[in-house]
């Protein structure tokens, strides 16, 4: 169940990448950072967290067996 | 000269690390030379895999693309890779590693041959993979030549810079094999992770603060779109989600998966890969955009003028003039130009070495092609049995010399930009070969005939795109529609390449490759039950 939820999260994150709502947004955050670049920087951090969750809660069991030499 | 001295120091450091410090072989076996004895630990695996994947295109090509198209470059190429590459490592890389450990595989083709009980189909896959990898290797040589030429202010000509980089790379790959190459890549990754951030700070300060630069760009109608998606069409943007599929199908990445000592190395890589992307690409893209505000750098101003002239030109502009303006407008060297202008000489030298580190990624591709040649051709067709494993390693080393020489000669005569060359051929082809890996590793019903159909299609499609773009000249402005059907623009020649139904070619080529694999596999005989059981033991189906 946990694995399926994480796989669904991967799909959602892939869809969120198409940030059409920011298409022509010209605002600068903190006066120097285009909002588009800020969004995708935060997106990248979110991906790293998702990968950590996958590695912790959805790691293929047979790979652990492989490491044990079986 | 100070900059050149730092760069030479860096090259000497890479040579030392690759050959003497960590490159020493611990045996004469092919597995030791080509895969570092499957013993790479976490630190080197994470950083080397990232450095292997990042090439001249990520630093120079991306900043050049951002210079012309804006911050959308990060979403197009970086954050898409940050998601797709770790996911492919999770689903495919770990499986490749596991099979390699169990069955001794060293290349994709060895696994395909075993999985689908095929010989010549494997050879065809090798040929297509090799043909697609050569342009990628050339990128490294072109990047080396360009970087050294700009860093030295023209004192080191392009041909000499390219030659120097090629000889250094060839030397540590020749002597150090995978172990030396992996350690040099780790060293390079550390350099460009650290120096990218320093470069951004130094250049920002030199330009009078990024806030002022960005305010200027936002305030001008001609540059404001650089802060948005506006210069990229939605379908084009979506297309870029397909490009990172190429990573795991690239021989140098796939082969590198076999080098991990333990599976947990993939866990760390999945987590740190996006973070490395963030650290390298944000400064690179940001500086590329900010370069548009560098009003006191004459070389950059000439690029902007050439770009404006191109945008205003009608269809009557002479092809020679258009070509000259296109070359003039290219932004692949804007970061180096900014460094030359705003950083102190000694700092520009150190940072330039960091940029060169990112450019010199062709080492792992050269080693991968050598591994493929010796394993998939020499060993498979009896050479290893006849001449022994020592001869196999010697042939691998000789192949490294020949390949580097050929890549250098081609690099001298290739006019295409770093970025275009990579995207149009290698990335499209490898992304479209990814379904083979998915089919082999996750679908019991896949067959060698399906793989043959898919591979043949990829070869045909990539060749077709190359011929099309050579035959139909790039338009200065709006795309030239070559084929429309039922009101849809099916095939068009764009300023940057080709569009199919509005998408980059990678989308239809990958989809058709997948459909062919499925349809032909369904219609053709499967491998033996014993083979299928080895790959899909019953317990994994629970």
- Closest by CA position to B440, among listed B427, B458, B452, B430: B452
Cβ–Cβ < 8 Å for B30, B392: yes
> Does B87 contact A at CB distance below 8 Å?
yes
Q: Which two tokens stand for residue B298?
A: 């004459």
H or E element, residue B488 = strand B488-493
pLDDT at B301 over 60: yes
For the record, the structure tokens of B259 come out as 């080098």
With pLDDT > 90 as the criterion, what percentage of chain B qualifies?
49
Q: Which residue of A has its CA nearest to B79?
A: A44
CB B429 within 8 A of CB B512: no
State the pLDDT at residue A47.
98
Smallest Cβ–Cβ distance between A36 and the set B229, B271, B275 belongs to B229
How far the first Cα of chain B sits from its last, in Å, is 65
Q: At what angle do helices B264-290 and B80-88 cross, to 10 degrees?
A: 160
Average pLDDT over residues B129-157: 80
pLDDT digits (tens, 9 = 90+) for B5-24: 788 888 888 888 888 766 56
- Decide if B78 and A18 are in contact by the 8 Å CB cutoff: no
For residue A51, give the nearest of B98, B263, B271 by CB distance. B271
Closest CA to B406 of B373, B455, B432, B358: B373
Residue among B209, B210, B274 minimizing CB distance to A47: B274
Residues of B in contact with A12 (CB under 8 A): none
| A12 lies within 8 A of chain B by CB | no
Find the residue in B nearest to A31 (Cα). B211
Contacting residues of A for B83, CB less than 8 Å apart: 10, 13-14, 17, 47
Nearest chain A Cα distance for residue B259, angstroms = 14
Q: Does B74 touch chain A (CB under 8 A)?
A: yes
Residue A65 confidence (pLDDT) above 70: no
Both tokens assigned to B387: 């001449």
Rounded Cα distance, B183 and B186, in Å:
5
Give the number of other Cβ atoms within 10 Å of residue B419's Cβ: 25
| Six token digits for residue A27 | 């605002």
**Residue A62's closest chain B neighbor by CA?**
B540
State the complex-level ipTM.
0.94
Q: Does the beta-carbon distance from A67 to B273 stay under 8 Å?
A: no
CB contacts of B102 in chain A (<8 Å) are 66
Per-residue pLDDT tens over the stretch B408-440: 888 887 655 544 555 567 889 999 999 999 999
B442's tokens? 């996750």
Q: How does pLDDT run across B232-271, given as a tens digit for each residue?
A: 889 999 999 999 999 999 999 999 999 999 999 999 999 9
CA distance A26 to chain B (A): 6
Strands B488-493 and B498-500: antiparallel
Whole-angstrom distance, CA of residue B473 vs CA of residue B457:
24
Residue B307 or residue B274, greater confidence: B274
Residue B479 φ then ψ, to 5°: -60, 150
Using CB atoms and an 8 Å cut-off, which of residues 368-397 of chain B contact chain A? none
pLDDT value at residue B10: 85
Among partner residues B74, B228, B286, which is closest to A24 by beta-carbon distance?
B228
pLDDT of B188-224, one tens digit each? 888 878 877 888 888 888 888 899 999 999 999 889 9
User: If you measure CA to CA, which chain B residue comes closest to A24?
Assistant: B228
Mark which residues 178-217 of B lie under 8 Å from A by CB: 209-211, 213-215
Residue of B219, B442, B230 lying closest to A20 (CA atoms) = B230
Tell me the pLDDT band of B542, cut-offs 50, 70 and 90.
Answer: very low
């Amino acid at each position: 169940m946990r694995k399926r939820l994480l796989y669904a999260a991967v799909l959602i994150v892939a869809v969120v990448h198409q940030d059409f709502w920011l298409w022509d947004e010209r605002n600068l955050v903190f006066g120097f950072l285009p909002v588009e670049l800020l969004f995708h920087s935060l997106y990248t951090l979110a991906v790293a967290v998702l990968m950590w969750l996958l590695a912790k809660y959805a790691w293929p069991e047979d790979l652990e067996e492989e490491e044990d030499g079986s | 000269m100070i900059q050149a001295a730092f760069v030479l120091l860096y090259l000497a450091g890479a040579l030392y690390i690759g050959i003497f410090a960590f490159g020493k072989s611990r045996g004469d076996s092919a597995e030791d030379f080509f895969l570092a004895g499957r013993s790479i630990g976490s630190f080197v695996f994470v950083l080397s895999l990232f450095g292997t994947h990042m090439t001249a295109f990520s630093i120079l090509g991306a900043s050049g693309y951002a210079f012309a198209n804006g911050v959308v470059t990060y979403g197009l190429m970086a954050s898409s890779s940050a998601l797709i590459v770790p996911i492919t490592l999770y689903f495919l890389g770990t499986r490749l590693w596991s099979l390699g450990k169990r069955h001794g595989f060293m290349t994709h083709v060895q696994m395909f041959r075993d999985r689908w009980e095929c010989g010549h189909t494997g050879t065809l896959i090798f040929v297509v993979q090799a043909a697609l990898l050569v342009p990628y290797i050339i990128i490294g040589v072109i990047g080396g030549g360009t970087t050294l030429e700009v860093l030295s202010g023209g004192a080191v000509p392009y041909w000499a810079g390219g030659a120097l980089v090629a000889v250094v790379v060839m030397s540590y790959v020749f002597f150090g094999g995978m172990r030396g190459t992996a350690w040099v890549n780790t060293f390079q990754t550390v350099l460009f992770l650290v120096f990218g951030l320093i470069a951004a700070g130094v250049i920002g300060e030199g330009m009078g603060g990024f806030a002022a630069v960005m305010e200027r760009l936002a305030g001008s109608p001609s540059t404001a779109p650089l802060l948005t998606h506006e210069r990229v069409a939605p379908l084009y943007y979506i297309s870029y989600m397909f490009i990172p599929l190429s990573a795991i199908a690239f021989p140098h990445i796939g082969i590198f998966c076999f080098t991990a000592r333990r599976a947990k190395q993939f866990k760390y890589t999945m987590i740190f890969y996006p973070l490395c992307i963030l650290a390298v690409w944000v400064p690179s893209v940001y500086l590329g955009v900010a370069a548009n505000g560098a009003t006191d750098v004459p070389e950059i101003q000439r690029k902007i003028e050439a770009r404006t002239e191109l945008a205003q030109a009608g269809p009557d502009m002479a092809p020679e003039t258009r070509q000259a303006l296109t070359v003039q407008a290219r932004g692949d060297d804007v970061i180096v130009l900014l460094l030359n202008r705003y950083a102190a000489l000694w700092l520009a030298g150190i940072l330039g070495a960091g940029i060169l580190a990112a450019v010199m990624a062709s080492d792992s591709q050269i080693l991968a092609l050598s591994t493929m040649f010796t394993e998939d051709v020499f060993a498979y067709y009896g050479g290893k049995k006849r001449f022994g494993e020592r001869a196999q390693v010697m042939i691998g080393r000789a192949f490294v010399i020949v390949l580097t020489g050929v890549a250098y000669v081609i690099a001298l005569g290739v006019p295409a930009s770093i970025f275009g060359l990579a995207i149009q051929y290698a990335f499209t082809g490898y992304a479209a070969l990814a379904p083979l890996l998915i089919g082999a590793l996750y679908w019991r019903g896949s067959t060698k005939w399906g793989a043959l159909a898919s591979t043949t299609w990829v070869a045909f499609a990539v060749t077709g795109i190359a011929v099309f773009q050579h035959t139909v000249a790039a338009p200065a402005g709006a795309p030239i529609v070559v084929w429309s059907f039922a009101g849809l623009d099916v095939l068009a020649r764009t300023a940057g390449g080709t569009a199919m139904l509005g998408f980059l070619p990678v989308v239809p080529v990958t989809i058709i490759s997948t459909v062919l694999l499925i349809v032909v596999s369904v219609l053709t005989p499967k491998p033996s039950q014993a083979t299928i059981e080895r790959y899909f033991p019953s317990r994994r189906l629970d």
